[in-house]
Amino acid sequence: MASEAFTPARIEIDERGVPHSPDYGDVYYSADGGLAETDYVFLQGNGLPGRWMGRERFVIGETGFGTGQNVLAAARLFLDTAPAAATLHVVSVEKHPIPKADLARLYPADHPLADLAGDLVANYPDLIPGAHRLELAGGRIVLTLLFGDALEILPRARARVDAWFLDGFAPAKNPQMWQPPLFEAMARLSAPGATFATFTCARMVRDGLAAAGFAFEKRAGFGRKREMLVGHLERAVPAANEPPWYPRGEASRIREAVVIGAGIAGALVARRLAERGWSVRVLERHALPAQEASGNHAGILLPVLSAEWNNLSRIASLGLGYARRMLGRLAATHPEIDWQPTGVLRLARNERHAAQQLKIAARLDLPPDFARWVEPEEGSRLIGARVEQPGWWFAGGGWVNPPNAVRALLDHPRIELRTGVAVTRLEREGESWRVLDASGACVAESGTVILANACALNDLLHGALPLAPVRGQISLSPAVDGRELHAVACREGYVIPVREGLHCFGASFAHGVHDPAPRLEDHAGNIERLESILPDWSGLEPAGLAGRVSHRCATPDRLPVAGPLHDTEAFRQDFEGVHLGWPARRFQPARLHPGLWVTTGHGARGLVWTALLGELIASELNGDPLPVTEELLHAVHPARFDYRQMRLAPEHRKPWVVDTGDE
């Protein structure tokens, strides 16, 4: 992507069957035997498999994903030798990822790693920058692919690496990568006792490793290479520093949690914890789960694009990929969730908007299988109905039935769902939180509590977060004249082809309105939105429509909130000097409410990022590598609003205003 110096790889395969890069003039692996080289240099060089025996989690870091051969070979060895309950995490960087079709060509059916390679190809992400979390081999192999320049993206990763595969094109071919910031980032991300292995003995590599705190020794190289390096982190290096106003939550030693709220956000974080072996109790005030905004008949998954590829674009686009993979796995065991990856057509609102979007298309140079600009004729063919505007076609988007998805997510032996429990107060007692109902009775107790109850969590937190409910009404109707759509279409509203000729369309946005019953004026507004998308679908009458009302939970910056909850009163005292320009080193990390976490503020696009945020919280609590890089970790942090206020002089601090728009 042009905005982040990101370009997919060009790959050629020579007469020996060895892939190489014409841009760097180097091979991806040795002509003397790629798998043998991986085993000798990276696996044996790091003392594997011995070093992961008896461990529940082992983390590998890699500086050049390339063809994925090193990762797949390590995964094969791990599956063959590690304890059955253990998990292998791999965090791998790639500036020029190989396109999916080329990757598949490298692993034919007779390849020794064909089974794992097929799993990788099936889960391979869109070629867009950022962190992509993949789960392979039934979740025993967790791969975090960092697409971007290693010198830029690796320092923004969050992990504790046990073994490094220091790989990439040779220093003579790609000296830009083998620079001091790379080795410094490796040191900061290393766990105690971390090792490394690399095929090269170049002087710049030895000097860079030594300066970063690594001790090394030379060994005989593989094949025609005379020497290679192995070593370990000799000098302890502090982990990557978080700004004091964005404190990290601590991993929990006790694997049990209480989740308050059984909507899509609560169900997803509960599921991700349960799949890590946690015992999770989910408390829901209604008689059934998914009764609030997660109760709509259908919800859309589509990204948001911006010319500067801002944090909203990043989290929505990366979240789409993660949600799509998660829903695919869930649908394999629970087909009733009704996950339909139909694609989504997002139409331009007017000529000016179309011109802006064309500039975005030129600037970002997006891969066409992720997003491409289409004219009205093609858009009409894609969705099966006439449209009059050009727009973006997101082939990987689609729709899902949220209530079915919630029920499927909660269907896990380690999840206990308790309905009809209205939580009114939290009390900290010793190392635990006591969860109380309206009568004052303790309905649950745990060291870890995750609030996933939308705006209602502010009743428990005394208004700690700037959240606002935004009323939305959807409309339901059979297709006009029996016509059916093939895919989701959006403009200033949306229309979803739910099933059996029924269509869901809308939706209204009303701030400060709490009427729970559908209103005719909102149906009329939804009809106008529908006709602006599909001009031939006219003639519907508001009185003939069914509908549903729910309240989205919105934030001032349209980004969700996920992470550990800070003590707001202490925060405002501790960071009073921020507006005076005092540097971060003058402050201690913000004080947290220990064991208290939130996932909320998901707005109109919750389905596209709640899965990724559930994985983020579960990863932090479990002590795993994080599925997002630093900028997104901070962008969704609960303390960001208080920090922004504290940067202003006291006379300029004003109450937050929540925008009701969907873009």
pLDDT per residue as tens digits for the range 277-326: 999 999 999 999 999 999 999 999 999 999 899 999 999 999 999 999 99
CA distance linking residue 652 with residue 20, whole number of Å:
58
d(CA 428, CA 187): 37
Alpha-carbon Rg of the chain, whole angstroms?
26
How many Cβ atoms are within 10 Å of 463's Cβ, its own excluded? 9
Residues contacting residue 270 through CB under 8 Å, at least 6 positions apart: 257, 259, 280, 282, 409, 410, 412, 415, 614
**Cα–Cα distance, 143 to 133 (Å, whole number):** 6
CA angle 501/383/344 to nearest 5° reads 105
The amino acid at residue 594 is P
Q: How far is CA 249 from the centre of its chain?
A: 18
Separation of alpha carbons 481 and 501, rounded Å: 10
In degrees, rounded to 5, the angle at the alpha carbon of residue 329 between the alpha carbons of residues 296 and 258 is 65
| Alpha-helical segments (H) within 173-263 | 180-189, 203-212
CB 374 within 8 A of CB 516: no
CA angle 281, 283, 288 (to 5 degrees): 120
The per-residue pLDDT for 496 is 94
pLDDT at 135: 98
Q: Which of 454, 451, 661 minimizes the C-alpha distance to 558?
A: 661
d(CA 384, CA 378): 10
* Triad 308, 320, 289: Cα angle to 5°: 130
Distances (CA, A) of 530 to 311, 341, 523: 29, 21, 10
The single residue listed with the structure tokens 């029920």 is 407
> What SS3 state is found at 632?
helix
Rounded to an integer, what is the distance from CA 3 to the centroid of its chain?
A: 20
The SS3 assignment for 474 reads strand
The residues of the chain scoring below 70 in pLDDT are 1-6, 30-32, 480-482, 500, 659-663
Predicted pLDDT at 72: 98
Global pTM reads 0.96
Query: Whole-angstrom Cα distance, residue 554 to residue 565?
Result: 18
Strands of 432-437's sheet in order across: 423-429, 432-437, 442-446
Say how far apart CA 102 and CA 114 lie, in whole Å.
14
Classify each residue of 216-250 as buried b or exposed e, where b means 16 or more C-beta atoms within 10 Å of its C-beta. beebebbeebeebbbbbbeeebeeeebebbbbbbe
Q: Token pair of 610, please?
A: 């709640």
Return the pLDDT at 3: 42
Supply φ then ψ for residue 325, to 5 degrees. Answer: -70, -40
Strand partners, 165: 62, 197
Query: What DSSP element (H or E) covers 190?
Result: strand 190-198
| 282 vs 296: CA distance, rounded Å | 20
Rounded to the nearest angstrom, the gap between the alpha carbon of residue 620 and the centroid of all alpha carbons in its chain is 13
Alpha-carbon torsion, ordered 616, 188, 96, 321, to 10 deg = 0
